[in-house]
Structure 1
Amino acid sequence: MPKMEIAINLVFATFFISVGGALHRSSSDQQQRLQELDTFIQTLMTCESRPIVGLTVSVVKDGQTIFAKGYGQRDLQTGQAVDNTTLFGVGSISKSFTSALLAAILGEREDVSWDTVLTDILGPDFRFKDEFRTKEATLRDLLAHKTGLESLGLAIDTGLDIDRAELARRIRYFRQAFPFRTRWHYNNFMYTLAGHVAEKLAGKPYETLLRERLLQPLGMRDTVYLADVVEEGGLNFAQTYWTHNQTGPFVPYNPENRRPVRLHLPAGGVVSNALDMARYMNFHLSGGMDAAGRLVVPEDTLRQTHTADFIMPVYSERVGPDWPVGADMLHGYGLGWMSGYYRGHRRIYHSGLVTGFTSLLSLFPAVRGGVFTSVNGVRGQSKDVHNVIHHQISDILIGKDHWLNTTTACSYPQPWWTRPTANDPVMPETSDEFPRDKRDYEGVYGNRAAGTMTISLNATDGKLYFRLGLIGHGVLMATDHLNVLKASFEGPLTGSTVLVDVKVQNGLVFSLSFRSKPPDPDLLFERNLKLTDPDTTNPKWDGCSNTSGAIHTVLSSRGISIVFILILVMFL
């Protein structure tokens, strides 16, 4: 063998031995860091500042599940522990399931796309409140939160006893919060409508489509739907908890809270565990393939869901000079995903909140790594728990040194940032005296988008009771402000209070208006309005939006309740 060839072979041999050794050391280092991660999380579980009831974690890298474990308890009463098969509600991470399902459907068709106008799918009878949105709105607008319509948070929580086809009809009554395509405005109802679009395109219920097109092909056999969970059925399902304050005891959520989520499965109703969510992360990181390498969703269509489509308002970026690293740089919102950067690495992610569960999923496409966490109860800010764990695991995935330790993990986001004190509006004092006879408030009130509300006077205790939606009920109380009442919820929504403005017309109670969180307009219920009555208050096309972008809606300036609603599906 010539000397030159021998030399070249020796160089290559040395190179491969060196690379092999580096890979081996990298793998060993990763295993060591994962063992340290286990200790880190166990310490985090007992932080005095925010003790955690139960937690599930899964981590994937290069198509493999490298960590999947449960911590704490899934049920405080029975003492049952969380493991990697314990089911947690993923909340708004469900939105990425909806966009992936639609990507699967669109990938098979040439006649529809993300930019197909909705009326071409849902038919000419579908409409929004104004002509411009109706003629222009596309599937992309729904999924990227570009419609600018009111979010109807109260109706999300109290629940609507309708199907998605009826919701599609009621969309015409949703009012404007922002002009069309001018401002990112999160809206769960638009994802539920997107679920109906999938039903229209594929001719099956959303529940069936999601299972047939995604869950079964990906082997996510344990994944179920929140509204269908029956704890007595033997499922390894985590009970959720909330607290009145930082020192109060953990109180279990009422199972009734899940009922409103049945309609909104496309927005927030998926329930899964660490192992199944690992399969889901690998599906996205592999370009739409299952564990066996079979294509489930076309890669180019799926990748579009990951791509930032609309600029989001910056809520709280964690970057220098106050932070030691660029921990969170937000880029924009895609189709069911947020897009940003962590320490210079592109990160696509989404959080979730539903009936006491809080979750977070982060993917790093360049290193084919991802992490999923979900919690069933924490005293304090649950988002801090998720951020700390995701920062720690992200450092492992991208090969960076840790910048958090067990001390700063418990104090996070301090010492770098102090969360500002909430500036809650001053609530009017409760009064024993109503400004008019209580019987004047009795009756049935309607809102064409949110349904009906009934008010009745109890002859035994003399209190005014209201019922709204599937699970909304409670007591109306007078305040020291004329024609302002307090709606104090009972049952599943105990602890929530909303201010209600009373409009009197011709000496009679004409309407009750539940205050909303700006920029959404207040939710108005008119006496004796039947949902089947023709809408005579607006012309054929309402002038709430036009190409000039002028805002025609009137927003409430009176403030909102001290506690708006505790269990919004939305979580940012």
Structure 2
Amino acid sequence: MVSATVSFIIFTLTYTCITHPVEADEFATKLEKYIQNLVDCKNLTGLAVTVVKWNETIYQGGFGYQTLEEKQPVTEKTLFNVGSNTKAFTSTLAADAVGRGKLQWDEPLRTVLGKDFQLQDEFRTSEATIRDLLAHKLGMPNYWGVTTAVMNFTREEIVKRFRYFPVKYGFREWFLYSNYPFVLAAATIEKATGERWEEAMYNRIYKPLGMTGARIAATMTDDDWSKTAWSYTWINNTYVKNPEKTNIRTVVEIDPAGGVFINAEDMAKWIKFHLRGGKDEKGSQLLNSAALQETYKPMMPSLSGRRIYKPKYPVDNFNPTYAMGWRNGLYRGKKPWLNETTSCDPSPWSRRRRRKRRSPINKRSQPGTTSQPNSTEYLGDYFHPGFGKLTVFLDENENLKFKFGLLLHGLLLSTSTPDTFYQQLDFPLVFRFHAPGSDFVFIRNKQGVVVGTRVFYLEYSLPPVL
């Protein structure tokens, strides 16, 4: 049984200005003591740190292990998938295209992608720009489950199907974080420049900056994996190594949103590039400074409706707005009270009432047996115009199961609510939590016949609608 799903492999990027002169050796000693204590008390398996002050790397180091089985230490050359930090790379490629006159921040996407390109409605289609995509202005949810399923669509096919991706809010109405707009942004950059996103990452960022160890998910080799930190899930009081290589397909499909693999050494080069306003270490201007600066400007409030913000720690770490691939926040303003003790336990500053841990099971339903009476009426292929086919079937043991995409499949457990099932995922996504609100619900017509299913914020119909 999965008791917790946690990403224990963490890449921490620290930019700091030291307010009091400290000898390098003394600083390194204090920093390492602080981080090692944090690794121990948080029970982290591995972590890498790079610290940049102005234009100088003043510390790089690794803690813990790449894998617990081999006990290979994390170093400044260990690769980590930095997830959504990738979005800043894609916005930087957009700035590069703007700086070269290949693209404009505020020209409609249709101007670049052609008259056949469509979004969810005519207003979005005629007005949406790459700025809207990079600032999460489409009102589009993240589609938990769809991303991990791996639809196996090409980037071009995703662009064609984008009109069918449901939205939750009005256009430019509300900040809603999503990965797929960055896939569409990459396709737009590709169309404008004639260069694939993957090629541009290497040709316009990695190579000019000397980031020789950096990779993207789509190009990971066996040698790269041997240098990569793996994530673990806490199952039955022990760490279980997650099948990273098998699950890499979930990242490849959204590479422009989450596909960067990078080490601490190269991350320092990436930081310095931005601190220098788009110049390389020799002072050559690689990217138009004005275009790059545009990516840092606040575009949308990102507090998700919270009217009052109370930090967990007694230091400012407040991100009220989102730019393009970057979060904007407040830094400093208070005495940094974090130390070996307070970093592990924020009390007494965290006086808020502790929330009860939310059950991964929707309150409306509790898992029970593997089937309901007449479960065969649920069988069939269900279709969504944006995300394709979802199949419900009986396995050799007459258990009701589902399959969606290349990787997402599992058992459907009946609940106390008719036509509602709880998902118990199979390998390789068994470590994923069942997300609240993502029960498998079958839909009936007025005659009581099953005609569709609702799952992952989406409705699938039976028979096909494609």
Q: Taking structure 1 as the reference length, what is the TM-score of the superposition?
A: 0.72
1:223 counterpart letter in structure 2: A
Match of 1:405 among 317, 339, 344: 339
Q: Distance in 1 between matches of 2:310 and 2:317?
A: 5
- 1:489-528 superposed matches below 5 A: 489-495=425-431, 496-497=433-434, 498-505=438-445, 506-514=447-455, 516=456, 522-528=457-463
Question: What does the per-residue CA deviation read over 1:441-481, in whole Å, with 9 as the maximum and x for residues that have no partner?
Answer: 222111111221112222x3111221101200111222221
Deviation at 1:433, TM superposition (A): 7.6
* 2:186 alignment partner in structure 1: 195
Residue 479 (structure 1) aligned with residue 415 (structure 2): yes
Residues 402 and 29 of structure 1: CA distance in aligned 2, closer, same or farther (over 3 Å): farther
Deviation at 1:33, TM superposition (A): 2.7
Question: What does the per-residue CA deviation read over 1:196-231, in whole Å, with 9 as the maximum and x for residues that have no partner?
Answer: 111111112211111111111111111111244344
Quote the sequence identity (%): 32
Deviation at 1:232, TM superposition (A): 6.0
Segments of 5+ residues of structure 2 without an aligned counterpart are 1-18
- 1:162-201 superposed matches below 5 A: 162-201=153-192
**Aligned 8 A contact 1:318 1:329 in 2:** no
Q: Distance in 1 between matches of 2:28 and 2:368?
A: 58
For the pair shown, the structure with the greater C-alpha radius of gyration is 1
Question: What does the per-residue CA deviation read over 1:22-79, in whole Å, with 9 as the maximum and x for residues that have no partner?
Answer: xxx96544653332111111222211xx211000000111211111100011110011
Higher mean C-alpha deviation, range 65-74 or range 235-244? 235-244
**Aligned 8 A contact 2:139 2:169 in 1:** yes
Residue 286 (structure 1) aligned with residue 276 (structure 2): yes
Higher mean C-alpha deviation, range 417-426 or range 329-338? 417-426
1:56 counterpart letter in structure 2: A
2:94 counterpart letter in structure 1: L
Residue 338 (structure 1) aligned with residue 327 (structure 2): yes
Residues 51 and 233 of structure 1: CA distance in aligned 2, closer, same or farther (over 3 Å): closer
**Aligned 8 A contact 1:317 1:328 in 2:** no
Question: What does the per-residue CA deviation read over 1:266-325, in whole Å, with 9 as the maximum and x for residues that have no partner?
Answer: 100100000000000000100001112111111111011111111111668455xx9644
- 1:451-466 superposed matches below 5 A: 451-458=388-395, 460-466=396-402
Deviation at 1:435, TM superposition (A): 4.5
**Aligned 8 A contact 2:366 2:422 in 1:** no
Match of 1:219 among 210, 215, 240: 210
Residue 300 (structure 1) aligned with residue 290 (structure 2): yes
**Aligned 8 A contact 2:371 2:400 in 1:** no
Residue 240 (structure 1) aligned with residue 231 (structure 2): yes
Q: Distance in 1 between matches of 2:441 and 2:347?
A: 38
Q: Distance in 2 between matches of 1:83 and 1:433?
A: 46
Residues 503 and 308 of structure 1: CA distance in aligned 2, closer, same or farther (over 3 Å): same
1:421 counterpart letter in structure 2: K
**Aligned 8 A contact 2:103 2:192 in 1:** no
Deviation at 1:331, TM superposition (A): 3.3
* 2:99 alignment partner in structure 1: 107
Question: What does the per-residue CA deviation read over 1:371-397, in whole Å, with 9 as the maximum and x for residues that have no partner?
Answer: xxxxxxxxxxxxxxxxxxxxxxxxxxx
Q: Distance in 2 between matches of 1:233 and 1:34?
A: 28
Deviation at 1:176, TM superposition (A): 2.3
- 1:352-391 superposed matches below 5 A: none
- 1:118-133 superposed matches below 5 A: 118-133=109-124
* 2:199 alignment partner in structure 1: 208
Match of 2:30 among 25, 30, 36: 36
* 1:351 alignment partner in structure 2: none
Deviation at 1:436, TM superposition (A): 4.2
1:266 counterpart letter in structure 2: P
1:504 counterpart letter in structure 2: R
Question: What does the per-residue CA deviation read over 1:118-154, in whole Å, with 9 as the maximum and x for residues that have no partner?
Answer: 1011111111121111111111111111111232222
Residues 415 and 249 of structure 1: CA distance in aligned 2, closer, same or farther (over 3 Å): farther
* 1:65 alignment partner in structure 2: 57
1:524 counterpart letter in structure 2: E
**Aligned 8 A contact 2:314 2:336 in 1:** no
Q: Taking structure 2 as the reference length, what is the TM-score of the superposition?
A: 0.88
Residue 95 (structure 1) aligned with residue 87 (structure 2): yes
* Secondary structure at the counterpart of residue 65 of structure 2: strand
Residue 311 (structure 1) aligned with residue 301 (structure 2): yes
2:460 counterpart letter in structure 1: F
Residues 412 and 126 of structure 1: CA distance in aligned 2, closer, same or farther (over 3 Å): same
1:279 counterpart letter in structure 2: K
Deviation at 1:421, TM superposition (A): 2.4
* Secondary structure at the counterpart of residue 341 of structure 2: helix
Residue 261 (structure 1) aligned with residue 197 (structure 2): no
Residues 234 and 253 of structure 1: CA distance in aligned 2, closer, same or farther (over 3 Å): closer
* Secondary structure at the counterpart of residue 408 of structure 1: coil
1:239 counterpart letter in structure 2: W
* 2:39 alignment partner in structure 1: 45
**Aligned 8 A contact 1:443 1:454 in 2:** yes
* Secondary structure at the counterpart of residue 295 of structure 2: helix
Root mean square deviation, CA, Å: 2.3
Q: Distance in 2 between matches of 1:28 and 1:457?
A: 66
